[in-house]
Structure 1
Amino acid sequence: MKKMIIHGGKPLKGDVWIGGAKNSTVALIPASILSRTTVVLEGVPRIADVDNLMDLLGEMDVKCKFEETTLTIDPENIKRSPLPAGKIKSLRASYYFMGALLGRFGKAVVGFPGGDDIGPRPIDQHIRGFEALGANVENEDDKIIITAPEEGLRGAKISLAMPSVGATMNIIMASVTANGQTVIENAAKEPEIIDLAIFLNNMGAVIRGAGTDTIRINGVSQLKAKASHTIIPDRIEAGTYISLAACIGNGIRIHNVITEHLDSYLAKIEEMGVVTDVDEDSIFVYPAGDLKMVQIKTEPYPGFATDLQQPITPLLLTAKTGEGIIIDNIYPKRVGHVPELRKMGGEICVENNIILIHPSSKLKGMDVNAGEIRAGAALMIAGLMADGETVIHNAGNILRGYDRVQDKIRKLGGDITVVEE
């Protein structure tokens, strides 16, 4: 257990470089076991979820070496091994091993996934996708057992009830070695799905349509990595630092950004009155003046990302006029940061799963709890804004999703330390 100690109220200034996308990385690492040769991933973020995934690979005798931002994964001597529920429960993205193991071995035995507590996130669409490919799915002793028929998985047309990122990725991984063509309709369009498709295609997969609502996969017999793959920049980390810069910055440039991935987010902060200079791969955020409240509704990509509704909340607290409204259409129960911000003096509440925000006076440092990754990011920004000392308990949740966050904020001039509880 870790805690983050912040002495706030100091303006931040300088440059920050964004790491590789967490939501790509946690799928690409499981997908690497589909390769018969060594995989090299570049731009891998230094986050706790990567360490946890490497531990799970170790359970299957997959060798890993992580140096700087390069992760080398050697799956040539992989053994099919049940993945223990204890380690699986440490992160939600462990469910990608279901599709990867099914695609590689025709069988997956995986403990039920854990992860952040942000309300119901069922995996029924994943299961229906596997069953459509011909797999048999059973639940036994807190494990999911997925088995392909003797003749192997067969391509199928799969229509998702909603454009789930996890289900789209898992079905892609399972179907790249299936017999025939698989068509995923109402597929998620997130950039991380395109990243996964590029990674797999470079190993010999045949995937078309990633980034649209219809993806077609023609199965191949096996995959082999031929060159390294560079992970796309993390749009959620970038959005978090933009919010931080607008809240407490005295001129901050965010580097290694694909600005198109942030269009809906940038539109909202511009509506608030935040001034930015957007270049080809960086964004400069000017010190904020008088801001106004906005209404935010999260939607599947290219709409406003659910992972950014919490990091933008402290920025809304600084607005001078109006009432801010956040409606999370993806995870309506994602409101755990609200009572913690209230402790710090934020004028914020929840009514019928709608977050209501009013202009707030100076926040005060308090002891608060990071219930999950993005809630922790919101509290970290609030702590940097606040007078006095803020202690964020369960700060390990922040470290699960934010690359070298302590070093990056210190370089901007922030007083932040992470220690063991």
Structure 2
Amino acid sequence: MDQIIVTGNGPLNGQIPIAGAKNACLTLMPATLLSEEPLTLTNAPRLSDIRTMTLLLQSLGAEVQALQEGQVLAMSSHDLTSQRADYDIVRKMRASILVLGPLLARFGHAEVSLPGGCAIGARPVDLHLKALEAMGAELDLRDGYVHAKAPAGGLRGGLVDFPFVSVGATENALMAATLAKGTTVLKNAAREPEIVDLARCLQKMGAQIDGEGTSEITIQGVDRLGGATHRVVTDRIELGTYMLAPAICGGEVECLGGTIDLVSAFCEKLDEAGIHVEETPNGVKVARRNGRVSAVDVTTEPFPGFPTDLQAQMMALLCTAEGTSVLEEKIFENRFMHAPELIRMGAQIDVQGGHATVTGVDRLRGAPVMATDLRASVSLILAGLAAEGDTVVSRVYHLDRGYEHVVRKLSGVGARIERVKEQ
């Protein structure tokens, strides 16, 4: 098993290219199941989660080829052999549930294992199932699988009113509704850029969708969808993560391919903390203003609010801020598991339920730490950039699910970081 060793060594300067969005790509890939014609995705990130989704689609009989060193995914579902997504693959990643809606809409039946993924709370699939039921689906949960069946004639349009915002459920319902008979309205729908990206890809395939990016999306079902070529949107979480690198240890870094509108609420908090952010013709440039950063309070919310997927990284920054910050996690429970590891590095953090109070210290100290989930893993690396001595991060397989070439990208702007085999 690999480890990453980070040695704090002062300011970072240069450029970091930002990849296509993992969460968008994982949603776009199942869209191939909706059509017999090819779907090609460009700007695809090269991550273990993408490989897992590739294996899942291939297990259903889809053709998936990774071209141009994995940055282009050429897919075709013209000759599927199965509508059953097995536990052995699905258990590795929660996004696997996104094959349910497309399979059900196109074939009228599907069997999908209940998913796995990071241990950051229950994240139930109830809203996915209720959305499909609103389109007439008959669902039976038994033996760890969702057995889904559409009514005679296929899914039909319906009203889906989500009791709370769910990105995954919005995505599943959106895909299923494209082939349903009649009109489907999704109320209290997620507004994330990944939802907009999915809608635009589906529109290229012939779907009739209005309202993407708002809380109410209307889909007029069509008889069939065609093929398309679509560029995956920039990864706003990777963007925010690398924007924090110069914020934590000084210097000036330009994140290539990024735009402020993807992370506007996050940028507002950086400005409040004393970090200068400006958009350039090629991306987003970040530099820390003079002195220590200032403490800020952060509450995670659905888009366009502060992203839960940047909460752990923001905590790493606030560990060395001047003053006391309060972070409130309103999206997922159990998402402060990185706090004990940061405490090992000298941070002062008190977690009470969904609140974490962080009192900034002058300097963190390098220590052996362990990643508990994807975003926690990169927060520890960021903390290591600002720490005295070596920080050794174990269980970095979490990192490979969401960040490509972390060592290469950070060392390219001057960080002392290496990946080694665990002794």
TM-score if structure 1 supplies the norm length? 0.96
Residue 268 (structure 1) aligns with: 269
For the residues of structure 1 that align with 2:246 and 2:213, how far apart are their CA atoms? 30
Three-state SS of the structure 2 residue aligned to 1:377 is: helix
Aligned twin of 1:105: 107
2:232 is matched with which residue? 231
Among 300, 309, 312, the alignment partner of 1:310 is 312
* Distance change in 2, residues 1:420/1:205 (3 Å): farther
Query: Deviation at 1:82?
Result: 1.6
CA distance in 2 between partners of 1:160 and 1:207 (Å): 18
Amino acid at match of 2:32: S
| Alpha-carbon offset, residue 420 of structure 1 | 4.6
Give the structure 1 partner of residue 88 of structure 2: 86
1:415 shift after superposition? 2.6
Alpha-carbon distance between aligned partners in 2 of 1:244 and 1:85, rounded to the nearest angstrom: 38
Within 5 Å, give how 1:47-66 maps onto structure 2.
47-66=47-66
Q: Which residue is equivalent to 2:133?
A: 131
Question: Aligned to 2:66, what secondary structure does the other structure show?
Answer: strand
Equivalent-residue separation in structure 1 for 2:103 and 2:417 (angstroms) = 40
Task: Give the whole-Å Cα distance in 1 for the aligned partners of 2:407 and 2:64.
Answer: 25
- Aligned to 1:286, the other structure's residue is in SS state strand
One-letter amino acid of the counterpart of residue 295, structure 1:
D
Letter in 2 for 1:158: V
Q: How much has 1:191 moved relative to structure 2? A: 0.9
TM-align CA RMSD: 1.4
What's 1:368 paired with? 369
Encode CA deviations 1:355-412: one digit per residue, 9 max, x unaligned: 1101113222222111111111111101222222222122111110112222211212
Q: Which moved more, 1:69-78 or 1:8-17?
A: 8-17
Instruction: Determine which of 210, 213, 230 is the counterpart of 1:211.
Output: 213
Question: Could you tell me which residue of structure 2 aligns to residue 40 of structure 1?
Answer: 40
Please state whether the residue corresponding to 1:335 is helix, strand or coil.
Answer: coil
In structure 1, the gaps of 5 or more residues are none
SS in 1 for 2:366: coil
1:378 is paired with a residue whose SS is helix
Question: Matched residues in 2 for 1:302 and 1:103: separation?
Answer: 30
Q: Retained in 2: the 8 A contact 1:59–1:81?
A: no
User: Is 1:292–2:294 an aligned residue pair?
Assistant: yes
- The offset of 1:65, in angstroms, is 1.5
User: Cα 1:420–1:60, aligned 2, differ >3 Å: closer, same or farther?
Assistant: farther
Secondary structure of the corresponding residue to residue 74 of structure 2: strand
Deviation of 1:30 (Å): 1.1
- State the distance in 1 between where 2:392 and 2:110 align: 41
Q: Using the alignment, how far apart are the partners of 1:326 and 1:100 within structure 2?
A: 37
Indicate if the aligned counterparts of 2:105 and 2:154 stay in contact, CA closer than 8 A: no
Per the alignment, in what secondary structure is the counterpart of residue 13 of structure 1?
Answer: strand
Give 1:277 deviation, angstroms.
Answer: 2.4
Q: How does 1:8-47 map to 2 (within 5 A)?
A: 8-47=8-47
The SS at the match of 2:85 is coil
Structure 1 residue matching 2:212: 3-state secondary structure: coil
Query: Which of 159, 167, 170 is residue 168 of structure 1 equivalent to?
Result: 170
Residues 281, 303 of structure 1: alpha-carbon distance in 2 compared, 3 angstrom cutoff: farther
The reply on whether 1:341 has 2:335 as its aligned counterpart is no
- How far the C-alpha of 1:281 sits from its partner, in A, is 4.7
Contact 2:191–2:212 (CA under 8 A) maintained in structure 1: yes
Q: Among residues 182, 185, 188, which one is paired with 1:186 in the alignment?
A: 188
CA contact (8 A) 2:274 2:288 kept: no
**3-state SS of paired residue (1:307):** helix
- Mapped to 2, the partners of 1:419 and 1:104 lie a distance apart of 46
Residue 280 of structure 1 and its aligned partner are, at CA, apart by: 4.8
Aligned equivalents of 1:136 and 1:277: distance in 2?
Answer: 51
Partner of 1:94: helix, strand, or coil?
helix
Tell me how far 1:76 sits from its aligned partner. 1.6
Q: Which amino acid aligns with 2:386?
A: M
Structure 2 alignment gaps of length 5 or more: none
**In structure 1, distance between residues paired with 2:307 and 2:281:** 21
Query: SS of the residue aligned with 1:246?
Result: helix
How many angstroms apart in 1 are the aligned matches of 2:110 and 2:259? 35
What is aligned with 1:354?
355
Residue pair 2:350, 2:357 contacting (<8 A) in 1 also: yes
Asked whether the 8 Å contact 2:9–2:415 carries over to 1, the reply is no
| CA-CA distance at 1:110 after TM superposition | 1.1
Question: Kindly tell me: are residues 418 and 109 of structure 1, through their superposed partners in 2, closer, same or farther at Cα, counting changes over 3 Å?
Answer: farther
> How far did residue 10 of structure 1 move?
4.2
Q: Is the 8 Å Cα contact of residues 370 and 377 (structure 2) preserved in structure 1?
A: yes
Amino acid aligned to 1:358: T
CA distance in 1, matches of 2:408, 2:189: 37
8 Å contact kept, 2:328–2:356: yes
Amino acid in structure 2 at the alignment position of 1:247? I
Does the 8 Å contact 2:11/2:246 carry over to 1?
A: no
Tell me how far 1:416 sits from its aligned partner.
Answer: 2.4
Deviates more, 1:107-116 or 1:8-17: 8-17
For 1:32, give the aligned amino acid. Answer: T
Aligned match of 2:3: 3
- C-alpha separation in 1, matches of 2:405 and 2:105: 33
User: Equivalent residue of 1:108, what SS?
Assistant: strand
- Is the Cα–Cα contact under 8 Å of residues 39 and 74 in structure 1 kept in the other structure? yes
SS in structure 1 of the partner of residue 101 of structure 2: helix
The answer for the alignment partner of 2:252 in structure 1 is: 251
Q: Are 2:7 and 2:388, in contact at CA under 8 Å, matched by a contact in 1?
A: yes
Report the TM-score, using the length of structure 2 for normalisation. Answer: 0.96
Matching residue of 1:330: 331
Q: Which amino acid aligns with 1:15?
A: Q
1:61 deviates by 2.1
Measured after TM superposition, the shift of residue 285 of structure 1 is 1.4
